[in-house]
Amino acid sequence: MRIYPAIDIKDGKAVRLVQGKFDEVTVFNDNPAEAAKAWAEAGANYIHIVDLDGARYGKSFIIDILKEISSKYNIPVQTGGGVRTIEDIRERIESGAARVIIGTAAVENPQLVREAIKLYGDKIAVGVDAKNGMVAIKGWEEVSDVSAVDLCLEMKKLGVKTIIYTDISKDGMMCGPNIEATKELIEKTGMEIIASGGVSKIDDLENVFKINAQGVIIGKALYNGAINLSDAIDKFEKGEKNAY
């Protein structure tokens, strides 16, 4: 199971929101590249970067940051937030992203996903952010009438292999991820599901591991020291899980 340390970017700074609320912001680092450096030095094999302003306003604000991180550190990055066009995807890949996450546009414009898969294959993932089982869009400020399971199955038909699943009610709350909903997605879709939202302790990672998730994204728990990234990687990426 891969561990993805998260860097959420707003106004050019590494921040965390509570349940996606833009008026509940905590700044953890004024320089996102420094946050990336810390995770790289801790042994991260992949970094998850979200453009929060992009998600809200539908255009990218982090291209220069992506370029800086990719040029300084030899570590793959997956990034989402504000991805609305093929040009957005191309720009992020050319800026160093190994994987681009389509969120809102997957609901509003599935043709974009179809085209992106044809052009970039496994470099494309879809972000499914849900509230009470229904997909939220536009920086989580609107809830659609599409269920998380149905969206994943539609994306699978288009050739998508990887889903980043976030339960908004859990995000930033340090109360544990939604294991039941994540497990349902894994079992009903057979896709590679990366769990996100609410991870607060090593036991949460254990629970995600048990449902055979491809990976898990950790944000606030790393920044406040509740989880040590090196320890998590040793336990869940490097084979020590054989002890469990």
Catalytic residue among 8, 51, 88, 171: 8
Place 244 in a pLDDT band, splitting at 50, 70 and 90: very low
Q: Indicate the helix (H) or strand (E) that contains 204.
A: helix 202-210
Amino acid 172: pLDDT: 55
Identify the pLDDT of residue 243: 39
Given a cut of 90, is residue 60 above it in pLDDT?
Answer: no
Tell me the H-state helices in 31-132. Answer: 32-41, 52-57, 63-72, 86-94, 104-108, 110-120
DSSP letter (8 states) at residue 243: G
Could you confirm whether 150 is annotated as catalytic? no
Q: What is the structure's pLDDT at 55?
A: 84
CA torsion sign for 6, 12, 13, 19 is negative
51, 88, 129, 167: the catalytic one is 129
Q: Which residue do the tokens 């050739």 mark?
A: 159
pLDDT in tens, 30-57: 999 999 999 999 999 999 999 999 888 8
pTM of the model: 0.91
* pLDDT at residue number 113: 97
Q: For residues 104-142, b (16+ Cβ closer than 10 Å) or e, as one string? A: bbbbeebebbebbbeeeeebbbbbbbbbeeebbbbbbee
pLDDT > 70 fraction of the chain, expressed in percent and rounded: 92
Phi and psi at residue 7, to the nearest 5° = -125, 105
pLDDT (tens digit, 9 = 90+) per residue, 65-105? Answer: 999 999 999 899 999 999 999 999 999 999 999 999 998 89
64 flagged as catalytic: no
Task: Summarize pLDDT for 172-222 with one digit per residue, the tens.
Answer: 556 778 899 999 999 999 999 999 988 999 999 999 999 999 999 999 899
